[in-house]
Amino acid sequence: MHKISLLSHNWLALLINNRQVTRHLSAMSGVVYDLGCGKRPYEQDILRHAQRYVGVDWTNSLHGRQTDMTANLNEPLPIEDAAADTVVSFQVLEHLSRPDIMLAEARRILKPGGKLLLAVPFQWAVHEAPWDFYRYTQYGLIHQLTQAGFSDIQVEAVSGFLPPWVLKLNYQTLRLARGPKPLQWLIKLLLLPLWLGNQAAALLLDPLWRGEEETMGYFVTARKP
C-alpha cells in the first residue's frame, strides 16, 4: 500500500486509494497483471491473495519504473491471449490517449470469467502533464467498459463532496511554499495545522455528505464474459 504521512498535504487521497484497494483484494486472484504499475505500491498486498504479479508500464512513467514488462498501454500488448486471471489498473486510464485500446487489450488477455479492477480520478487537477487526457463520470466508465465487451460492471464513488475540495485547497496552498529551502519548510510548517485539520475533518464527515455527482474518483470492477 501507499505509505501514509500525516505531515503531507495529500495523505487523505492516498488513504482513500489504499482503502478501496484493500476492500477488493480478495477479488485479485491467480495471475494478476498491473497495467501502469509505476513503483508497484500494491504488489505485496495483491500477492497475499494472488499466485503471481506482473507489473507493466511504459518508459515515460513519471513515477519511476519497476516493471516486469515494458509496454505502451495505448498499443496492443505483448501478452498472449487469456494469460491473466485478474487485470488491475489504478489511476492510469486518464493518462491514456487511447483508453479504448487498453480496455480491449485488458479483455483480450483475461481468461473467460476474469476480473478487471480500475481506479480513476474525477474531481482532480491536471497532473503528470502532458500525459493527462481525460476525466470519467460513472456513465462514461460504464459506456467505455460496455463497448470493450465487459459485463457485471460496478462503478463506486470513492468519496463524497468534501475530500476532493479539501485536497484542491491543500494543493493550492502548497504553491505558497516557494523560495529558498529553509523558507519552503517554514511555510509548510505553518500550513501543517490547516492540512492536518481539514483532511481529518473531511475524513470524519465524508460518510455524512455523500453523492455520486461530486467525488474524488471512482473504483470500478468488471468481468470478461
Rounded Cα gap, residues 168 and 207, in angstroms: 19
Cα–Cα nearest to 85, from 64, 112, 66:
112
The tens digit of pLDDT for each residue in 202-223 reads 999 999 888 668 999 999 999 9
- Residue 128 pLDDT: 87
Contact 219, 158 (CB under 8 A): yes
Q: Where do the DSSP E strands lie in the chain?
A: 31-35, 52-57, 69-70, 84-90, 110-121, 151-157, 217-223
Name the pTM for this structure. 0.91
- Residue 65 pLDDT: 59
- Residue 64 pLDDT: 55
- Which grid coordinates belong to 186? 517554514
- Residue 61 pLDDT: 59
- Residue 134 pLDDT: 95
- List C-alpha distances in Å: 174 to 34, 125, 171, 185: 31, 14, 5, 11
Regions in the chain scoring below 70 on pLDDT: 60-65, 211-212
- Residue 63 pLDDT: 57
- Residue 41 pLDDT: 93
The tens digit of pLDDT for each residue in 45-63 reads 999 999 999 999 987 655 5
- Residue 58 pLDDT: 81
In order of start, what are the domains of the chain with their CATH numbers? 11-161+210-223 (3.40.50.150), 163-204 (no CATH)
- Residue 67 pLDDT: 82
- Residue 66 pLDDT: 74
Rounded Cα gap, residues 225 and 222, in angstroms: 9
